[in-house]
A and B are shown apart, each in its own frame.
Chain A
Amino acid sequence: MSSVRERNASAWLLPNDGTRTNHQLRRDMRRFDDNDEVDAVIVGCGAGGSVLLQRLARAGWRVVGLDAGPFWDPDTDWVSDEAGSHHLYWTDPRVISGADPVPLGSNNSGRGVGGSMVHFAGYVPRFHPSDFRTLSQDGVGADWPIAYRDLKPYYTAIEQELPVAGEHWPWGDPHGYPHRPHPVGGNGEIFLRGAEKLGITAKVGPVAIPNGRFGNRPHCVYRGFCLQGCKVNAKASPLITHVPDALAHGAEIRADSMVAHIDVDEHTGLATGVHYIRNGLQRFQRARVVIVAGYSIETPRLLLNSASRRFPDGLCNDFDQVGRYVMVQGAPQTAGRFDSEIRMYKAPPPEVSTEEFYETDPAKPYHRGFAIQTVSPLPITWAEHVAAQGHWGADLRRMMSDYVHWSCLGALCELLPQPENRVTLAQETDRHGLPVANMAYSRCANDRALMSAARGVMEDLLRAAGADEVMTIERYAHLVGGARMAADERHGVVDADSRSFAVPNLYIADGSVLPTQGSANPALTIMALAARAADRLSA
């Protein structure tokens, strides 16, 4: 444990007096002037941006992180309540289109320091080695310009920093976790029971919640509100896992700062800094290196909104790659009813998963696969599931009154990257006058086949566990791609080190650089890629 503390003391910099925020550290935070040419300005303080901020600050860089949202204090800003957590999501206007439009906001988009990890469920599986070469191996998707082995040491490092609890993981590159698995609630019990009956291997974890004390972070209280922001400081988000250490090493976080435009010098071809809006004022932060970490919608939007004479179609968009190959995972959700009380709202929603169906099975008519995990919707989200079955009126109320008897599983299907699934600029503008994003999404035949196969397995699992009734809704989860890494500028926006092909001192370090998505929740991979990018930058 001491080695983690030596390289990232975040958990020890949090208070141990029953409060959740080190206000002294924030008050004493170093503050740069707009006219200082900092070593790096980072746009977005989520999974990618915060890891880079911490790593670069440790390397002695003078670095500022800008975030469009607030610098949260879990004690005062977050509530143990579903409807009251609306402000955690990115709710500025956005348009969704295509044959299968994907809802954004609470589903996959965060706002404020910590990013969407503030409200992510907490699952942190690694990608499998096969994920990095699906084109050459499976004939679909894309090959990454890096291999699993390039990320492996960073996976291990981040797993220690979050830290992750779970059983020994038998899939992909088999590995263990630093903390033992958590006890499971009713929903996890049902999953394990069904899996055992069917002979499917299922494991507890991997979850970014320490099992035991870690620094000054208290033990999880199993209250089930992981998706509403962890008031306990138990579930990991960069707000508590990387930001405190970054501040202690001289980084600045400038919250409530919406970046509008990246400036590139026409003569040198280098980025010079970012234009941003804070308290209604237009400002400009000079920087030697610009790092964009706004995630799969806002990163492409910012690049497209940064068009100039040199880049008439958007920054880094000479080859029409910006905004393309956006991906979401197909996430059908199957619920089963039991005579027993499951009370799935108790215990963290991330409990048990299986990756038995992750890889291509030559016996199946589709390529690649899916993972299955417990999901435990709270009443509002559960009402959406029930209403999506067509229930309304007295029928809906009666179905809802049965809430404590339902168990719920979710799949993550590896939908394939497609060029027409993309972020473009809409006609509509936000309150700053900046064009908003339009995200188009349509599934291909392989995508539909995967979602239907996953549904079948989940329904079998719940029936095997004793469910007398099952119901499945189609939905989507997570976001990656939109500015992918590739071997060359005709196939992507950044290289293997996350450096843009077009502007030598412009980097992208968030989920948008992923060329494929596997069937794994993306947070850990985004953090590992950022940690790797930081090593390359500061080498």
Chain B
Amino acid sequence: MGRYGRFPGFDAAAQWRHWDPATAGSVLARLGPPQPIRFFTPEEHATADALCERLLALEPDRPVPVVAMIDARLAEQETDGWRYADMPEDGQAWRLSLAALKADAVDCFQRPFAALTADRRDRLIGRVRELDSTPWHDLPAGHVWSLWTRYACTAFYSHPFAWNEIGFPGPAYPRGYKNLGVDAREPYEVEDEGKS
């Protein structure tokens, strides 16, 4: 049902027997162990984990391996099919922005980013968001923000754990939907128990 308890008993992946094989293979793989880290160095890995934990308010036990999912995309060069002219390609942009976060942490708090308290990390991350089009360590801050949130959200909201939290049943082929319309639900969809 997820952190907010809005959809009690709802479990998107429990419906997997109703999914077609190609889809089931693709989605259920996300419930298994993630790929080993191949792209990030150990230091980048630690910084990325400390960043994504705050960007998505991730649970301490990491039910969604967001950083491993981002690492897999970067290792396979699975980009979105474009980059801003004032940014390097995505992999290099991740490396540079993680190094910049680490440099900010050392400047402000004399400790690596990954070793900072959540509050301090939020201050550094929040500063990048607020800079918007202003340069941050020679990178346009707004485009760094777009890079981080695109990769992090794509990873997190592709996972059935996240779907349970938002009441989304995930794959719908071949079954489809029979009950369309406002306040209409399928038997396996669960009513929202209230605004969080």
Do A and B come from the same complex?
yes
CB pair B22–A79 under 8 Å, yes or no, is yes
Residue in A231, A343, A387 whose Cβ sees the most chain B Cβ within 10 Å = A343
B127-160 interface bits toward A, Cβ cutoff 8 Å, 1 = contact, 0 = none: 0010000000000000000000110011111100
CB pair B81–A380 under 8 Å, yes or no, is no
Minimum distance in angstroms from A524 CB to a CB of chain B? 24
Q: Is the interface of A mostly helix, strand, loop or mixed?
A: loop
**Interface status of A538 (Cβ within 8 A of chain B):** no
Which of A84, A224, A396 touches B172 (beta carbons < 8 Å)?
A: A224
Residue in B3, B20, B175, B176 whose Cβ sees the most chain A Cβ within 10 Å = B176
Q: Which residues of the partner chain A approach B57 to less than 8 Å between Cβ atoms? A: 393-394, 396-397
B4-23 interface bits toward A, Cβ cutoff 8 Å, 1 = contact, 0 = none: 10100000000000011011
CB pair A105–B80 under 8 Å, yes or no, is yes
Q: Which residues of the partner chain B approach A223 to less than 8 Å between Cβ atoms? A: 172-173, 175-177
Q: Which residues of the partner chain B approach A222 to less than 8 Å between Cβ atoms? A: 176-178, 180
Which of A137-145, A182-190, A196-204, A299-307 lies at the binding interface?
A: A182-190
Q: Is the interface of B mostly helix, strand, loop or mixed?
A: loop
Alpha-carbon distance A394/B122, docked complex (angstroms): 11
Minimum distance in angstroms from A209 CB to a CB of chain B? 12
Known contacts A341-B185, A393-B57; decide if A93 and B83 are in contact (CB<8 Å).
Answer: yes
Which of A83, A94, A392 touches B82 (beta carbons < 8 Å)?
A: A94
Alpha-carbon distance A338/B183, docked complex (angstroms): 10
**Interface status of A539 (Cβ within 8 A of chain B):** no
Known contacts A186-B182, A222-B180, A379-B166; decide if A105 and B82 are in contact (CB<8 Å).
Answer: yes
CB pair B81–A94 under 8 Å, yes or no, is yes
CB pair A400–B166 under 8 Å, yes or no, is yes
Those of B156-192 within 8 Å (CB) of chain A: 156-158, 162-163, 165-168, 170-185, 189, 191-192
Which of A79, A93, A438 touches B79 (beta carbons < 8 Å)?
A: A93
Known contacts A184-B180, A379-B166; decide if A82 and B158 are in contact (CB<8 Å).
Answer: yes
Which of B78, B79, B166 touches A401 (beta carbons < 8 Å)?
A: B166
**Interface status of B196 (Cβ within 8 A of chain A):** yes
Q: How many residue pairs bridge A and B at CB < 8 Å? A: 200
**Interface status of A398 (Cβ within 8 A of chain B):** yes
**Interface status of B85 (Cβ within 8 A of chain A):** yes
Which of B22, B177, B182 touches A75 (beta carbons < 8 Å)?
A: B22
Which of A259-267, A321-329, A402-410 lies at the binding interface?
A: A402-410
CB pair A101–B85 under 8 Å, yes or no, is yes
**Interface status of B89 (Cβ within 8 A of chain A):** yes
**Interface status of B100 (Cβ within 8 A of chain A):** no
CB pair A80–B23 under 8 Å, yes or no, is yes
Known contacts A76-B22, A343-B185; decide if A404 and B166 are in contact (CB<8 Å).
Answer: yes
CB pair B81–A91 under 8 Å, yes or no, is yes
CB pair B3–A397 under 8 Å, yes or no, is yes
Which of A231, A378, A393 touches B55 (beta carbons < 8 Å)?
A: A393
CB pair A342–B182 under 8 Å, yes or no, is yes
CB pair A403–B167 under 8 Å, yes or no, is yes
Those of B1-45 within 8 Å (CB) of chain A: 2-4, 6, 19-20, 22-23, 26-27
Q: Which residues of the partner chain A approach B150 to less than 8 Å between Cβ atoms? A: 384
CB pair A221–B173 under 8 Å, yes or no, is yes
A338-350 interface bits toward B, Cβ cutoff 8 Å, 1 = contact, 0 = none: 1011110111000
Alpha-carbon distance A51/B162, docked complex (angstroms): 41
Those of A440-483 within 8 Å (CB) of chain B: none
CB pair B27–A84 under 8 Å, yes or no, is yes
CB pair A190–B79 under 8 Å, yes or no, is no
Q: Which residues of the partner chain A approach B192 to less than 8 Å between Cβ atoms? A: 341, 404-405
CB pair B82–A86 under 8 Å, yes or no, is no
Q: Which residues of the partner chain B approach A93 to less than 8 Å between Cβ atoms? A: 79, 83, 89
**Interface status of A502 (Cβ within 8 A of chain B):** no
**Interface status of B56 (Cβ within 8 A of chain A):** yes
Alpha-carbon distance A473/B162, docked complex (angstroms): 23
Residue in B6, B84, B153, B185 whose Cβ sees the most chain A Cβ within 10 Å = B153
CB pair A81–B27 under 8 Å, yes or no, is yes
The closest CB in chain A to the CB of B167 belongs to A404
**Interface status of B54 (Cβ within 8 A of chain A):** yes
CB pair B153–A380 under 8 Å, yes or no, is yes
**Interface status of A277 (Cβ within 8 A of chain B):** no
CB pair B129–A392 under 8 Å, yes or no, is yes
**Interface status of A77 (Cβ within 8 A of chain B):** yes
Minimum distance in angstroms from B154 CB to a CB of chain A? 5
Alpha-carbon distance A9/B102, docked complex (angstroms): 62
Q: Told that A343-B189, A392-B56 touch, could you supply 7 new A-B pairs with CB distance under 8 A?
A: A84-B23, A106-B81, A221-B175, A224-B172, A343-B185, A380-B154, A383-B153
- A sample of 25 cross-chain residue pairs with beta-carbon separation below 8 angstroms, ordered by A number, consists of A78-B22, A79-B22, A91-B79, A91-B81, A96-B84, A106-B80, A186-B183, A221-B176, A221-B177, A223-B173, A224-B177, A340-B183, A341-B182, A341-B191, A341-B192, A342-B182, A346-B177, A380-B154, A383-B156, A387-B153, A392-B54, A396-B153, A397-B165, A401-B196, A405-B192
